[in-house]
Chain A
Amino acid sequence: MLLPAVLLALVFNYLPFAGLAIAFQDFKPWKGLFDNTWVGFDNFSEMFSRPDALQVILNTLVISGLKIVFGLIVPFVFALFLNEVLSRGLQRFIQTLVFLPYFISWVILGGIMIDILSPSGGLLNNALGVFGLKPIFFLGDNNWFQPMLIVTHLWKEFGYSTVIFLAALMGISPQLYEAAEVDGANRVQQVWHITIPGLLAITIVVGVLALSNILNAGFDQIFNLYNPMVYQSGDVIDTFVYRVGLLSGNFGLGTAVGLFKSLVSMILIIGAYKLADRFAHYRIF
C-alpha cells in the first residue's frame, strides 16, 4: 500500500536532493550539477560571517517560534469555545467568517495594514487617541514590529488551522461524555478531563510538524511590511536571501541557506519526537 507514495517520493523528492550539491559549489547554471567549482563550506561561511548573522537568525527564530506557539494555542482555544456554541447554524457561520482572511494575499493586506497602523490617522492610533494615548509608529518601532507580525499573522491564519482541531473534536467518542455525565461531572470538568486530553495528541502532532518551518518566518508578510527602520527586529533569513538573490542570483548561497534551515528543522523534529515519546508516550509518526 505504501508503494505508490514511496515511488513518487523517490522521483519527485529524493531525486532532486542531488541539487543540494549546489550548496557546496560556486554554481553556474549551465555547467550542470556536478561540473561546477566545489567551494566547500564557503557559501555557509558567507552567511555566518555577516556582522548581522546572529541577529537575523535570532529574529527568524523568535518570530517563527512565537507564530508556531500562538498558532497552536489560538486555534485550539478558539475550537474549544466554538464547540460550546449550541446553535449549529451560528457555529458554521462563525467558522466560515474566520476562514475568510486566509484568502487575502499579503500584497493586498500589506497596504491595508500600513494604513490601519499608520501613526498619522491610522485606525488603531485613532482608537488609542480616544484614550489619550500618543500615536505609536507600529511598523517603524523595533519594540512593536514583531508583536505586529505575530498578531496579523494569527488573525489571517487561525481560522484555517481551527479546522484541524474541529475535526479532532469530532473524533472524540460521545460515550466518554455520557459516562462522565453519569459520574456527575459538570461541563467544565468534562472539557478539562475529556476534550482537552482528546485534542492533546493532534496538538502535539501539529506542533512537531510545524517545526519543519521553524526557520521560515513568513516571507510574504515580512517583505510587505518591513522597512529599514525595523531591520533590527524584522530582517529574517528569507528576506536577506531574497535581497541577495535580487542582486546577484546567487544559487549557492540560497541552497546553502535552505540546507541549513532543513538541518535545524530536522534536529528539532527528532528532539521533539523523542520528547513526546518519552514523556507523553506518544509516537507522532
Chain B
Amino acid sequence: MKRNLFRGVLLALGLLWAGASATAQTPVFKDGKYNPPLTLTFEIVQGAGTKFKPGEDYNNNVMSRWALENFGIKFQVAWTAPTGEALTNKLRLMLASGEAFPDVMRVNDVNVTKDLIESKKAKDITDEFNKYATPRLKEIYTKYPEALYQVKKNGRMYGLPVLTSGNVSDELMWIRQDWLDKVGMKAPTTIAELEKVMDAFMTKDPGGNGKGKTLGVSIGAKNALATWMSSTGFLIGSFGGVMAHDNGWGLAADGKTLAYKAIQPEMKKVLAKLNEWKNKGYIDPQFALMDESKASESFVQGKSGIIFGPPWMIEWPFGDLKKLNPDAQPKPFPVPAGADGSRGRFGEGMTQGTTIFSPDFKGVEGYLKMLDRWYGSHVAYGDAEFQYGMFEGYDYQMVDGKPVIDSTNFIDPSMYFPGLENYPSIAFIEYNIYEYLWQGGKPRNLAEKTLLAKTAPEKLQGGAIINSQNKYNMPNLFSGAPTATMSKKGEYLRKLEQDTFAQIIYGSKPVAYFDEFVKQWKANGGDAVTKEANDWYKSVSAK
C-alpha cells in the first residue's frame, strides 16, 4: 500500500512537472533533432524474448539513449503487454473506456487497426510522409502497394505497415540427407519421386526405428493444411491452380478477380492424394489434431525424414535434432513439382500489423527520420553505423577488432523500438542476399560479411532456394479486415471446410463429396464472401 501511495505522490509531482513544462517552449525539429527533447509515449509487447541489461528498461536503454542523442526523442513507455493477443485486448478495452492512447502504437490485429482509423484515433500521416520520409523509406513502403492496404482509407494514409521480409517463412522441403545416402536415393524433384523416397524411408528404415515406426512425411493440419511449418502447401501447389493455400485467396484464372482456394477443383485432387497417403501410412494417423509444432516432433525424434517449412527451421526445431542426434543432416530442397510440372508453396504475407500514431502526436517527422536511420541496420544497406550489428555489447561484442556473437549474453535491442518492436524488414531482399552469398558471391559490405559469418550454411542454402522459387510464392491476397459476411459467416464456412476435408482424407466420406461441399459453401454465404472480397480487392487495387 505504501508503495501505491508513493507512486501516487510521484504521479502527482509528474503531473505538476508536465503542467509546468507545457508552458515552456514546444519541441521543434531543427537540424535533425528536437529541441527541447520531445517525449514519445508508446505501448509494446514485452515478450519473453525481450531482455534488458541490469539497470536498463524501456525508458533507459541503448536504443532510447541513441534516440535521445541523435533525434532529441525521449522514449517513455505507457504500458506493456506480454503477448500480442494481450496487447490487442488492451487496445480494444482502451477504445471502449475512452482512455488516452500512447503517441506511437504497434497494432497487430487488422480489426483494431480498422477500429482505430474509423474512430479517428489514428493520425492521417499522408502529408507528413510525403514531406518528411526519405527516398529510402518511400521506396521501402511504396514498392509493393498491397503492403499499404491496411493503413489506407480513401486514398489517405493512417499509419505505417509493419513489413515482413516477404518470404522469410515460405515453404521448402527438408530431407534428412543422411537417410537419403543410406537408402541410396537422390532428393525428389516431383511428387511421384517424393512418394518413392517416402516408401524407401518407411520400408528400409534408415533411422533404425523398427518396422512400421517410420512416417513418410511430418504434416499437421490442426490449423490449416498450408501453414508456416509441417505444411502441405507444396502438395496443394503441385496440382496447380490459384495458390498453395487451403484457406486463402488467390487470383482466379482471369488474373483480375479473387478466388477462394479451398473450393477449386484442384483441391479435390489434393484431398484424394492425402487420403491415399493416409491409407498408405505416409502420414501420422493423428495429423488432423496436430498443430505445426506437435507435427514437427516426429522429424526431431527421427521418426520421419521429410518435413516442409521455412529455412529457419535449421535453428528451430532442428537445433534440438542436432543435439539429440549429431549425425542427422537435414538439408533444404526446392518444393517438388506435380505431374504437370506445377509447383507452389505456402507464402507469408507482406505485413504483420501496423504502426499507428495518435492524432495529437507532434513527432511524426522525427519518427520517420529515426526510422530511416534504423533501416540502415538492415543488411540490404549495412550503414556504417550498424556494420557489425545493432549495438556493441548487446547483439554483438568486439573481440580483437572482430564482431562476435555471444549467444549467452545476446540481447536484442530491436525489441525496444517503439511501433516496430523488431528489426526493420524489407520485402524480398534478405533471401536475395542469401542467394548471392550462397552462390559464392563476395560480401559487398561489412553487413553481408557479418551475415555470412553468423548464418548456418543450411539456412543460407534454404534462403537461396526460397529466393530462386519466388515465382511459386502465392500468399493470401486478401489482407483487409474481415468483410461483413466474413464476420458473420466466415467461421462457419471454415468449419464446414475443415470438417469436410478431414472426413474425406480419413475416408469417412468419399472424394466425390467435395462437390457437395462446394455447393454448401456457396449457398451458406460463400458467394457473398467472394463478392465482398472482390469488392475490397477492386477498391484497394484501383489506385
Contacts and interface: CB of A to CB of B under 8 A. Distances in A.
Q: Do A and B bind each other?
A: yes
Interface of A: 28-32, 46, 50-52, 111, 114, 118-121, 137, 139-140, 225-229, 231-232, 235, 240, 243-244, 247-250
Interface in B471-522: 481-482, 486-488, 490-492, 494-495, 498-499, 501-503, 506
B487 A137 contact: no
A229 B288 contact: yes
A30 B285 contact: no
Contacts of A46: 488
Given A32-B98, A228-B499, A249-B92, A139 B286 contact: yes
A111 B495 contact: no
B362 interface: no
Contacts of B285: 118-120, 137, 140
Given A46-B488, A247-B482, A229 B95 contact: no
Contacts of A140: 285-286, 288-289, 506
A33 to B, nearest CB: 8
9 contacts: A114-B294, A119-B286, A120-B285, A227-B222, A227-B289, A228-B499, A247-B490, A248-B486, A249-B92
B492 A50 contact: yes
Contact of B490 (A30, A119, A121, A248): A248
A248 B487 contact: yes
B95 A29 contact: yes
Contact of B502 (A30, A139, A227): A227
Candidate in A28, A30, A46, A52 with the most chain B CB atoms within 10 angstroms: A30
Contacts of B294: 111, 114
B292 interface: no
The interface residues of chain B, by DSSP majority, are classed as helix
B124 to A, nearest CB: 17
A231 B495 contact: yes
Contacts of B289: 114, 139-140, 225-227, 229
B23 interface: no
Contacts of B95: 29-30
B522 to A, nearest CB: 14
Contacts of B502: 227-229
B96 interface: yes
Interface string B240-267: 0000000000000000000000000000
Nearest to A230: B289
Given A137-B285, A228-B288, A51 B492 contact: yes
Candidate in B112, B289, B495 with the most chain A CB atoms within 10 angstroms: B289
B96 A29 contact: yes
Nearest to B120: A30
Contacts of B482: 247-248
Nearest to A242: B491
Contacts of A118: 285-286
A227 B291 CA distance: 10
B9 to A, nearest CB: 26
Contacts of A28: 115, 118-119
Nearest to B286: A118
B448 interface: no
A125 B183 CA distance: 32
B121 interface: yes
B491 A247 contact: yes
Contact of B121 (A30, A231, A247): A30
A252 to B, nearest CB: 10
A227 B495 contact: no
A30 B115 CA distance: 8
Given A120-B285, A120-B286, A240 B92 contact: no
Interface in B189-245: 213, 221-222
B51 to A, nearest CB: 24
Contact of B491 (A29, A229, A232, A240): A240
B293 to A, nearest CB: 9
A244 B488 CA distance: 8
A37 to B, nearest CB: 13
A140 B495 CA distance: 16
Nearest to B91: A29
Contacts of B503: 229
A91 B284 CA distance: 44
Interface in B281-301: 284-286, 288-290, 294
B501 A228 contact: yes
Given A30-B98, A51-B492, A249-B111, 12 more contacts: A29-B115, A30-B96, A46-B488, A120-B286, A137-B285, A140-B286, A140-B506, A228-B288, A243-B494, A244-B487, A248-B481, A250-B487
A174 B154 CA distance: 80
A239 to B, nearest CB: 10
B109 interface: yes
B39 interface: no
B469 to A, nearest CB: 30
A261 B482 CA distance: 27
A46 B92 CA distance: 23
B524 interface: yes
B497 to A, nearest CB: 9
Nearest to A226: B289
Contacts of B118: 28, 30
Given A114-B289, A227-B288, A249-B111, A243 B92 contact: no
Candidate in B96, B98, B121, B506 with the most chain A CB atoms within 10 angstroms: B96
Nearest to B506: A229
Candidate in A32, A225, A227, A232 with the most chain B CB atoms within 10 angstroms: A227
Contacts of B112: 249
A231 B498 CA distance: 9
Contact of B499 (A114, A231, A250): A231
B215 to A, nearest CB: 9
A120 B284 contact: yes
B488 to A, nearest CB: 6
A137 B121 CA distance: 51
A176 B109 CA distance: 64
Contacts of B115: 28-30
A231 to B, nearest CB: 5
A230 to B, nearest CB: 8
A227 B220 CA distance: 11
Contacts of A139: 286, 289
B128 to A, nearest CB: 24
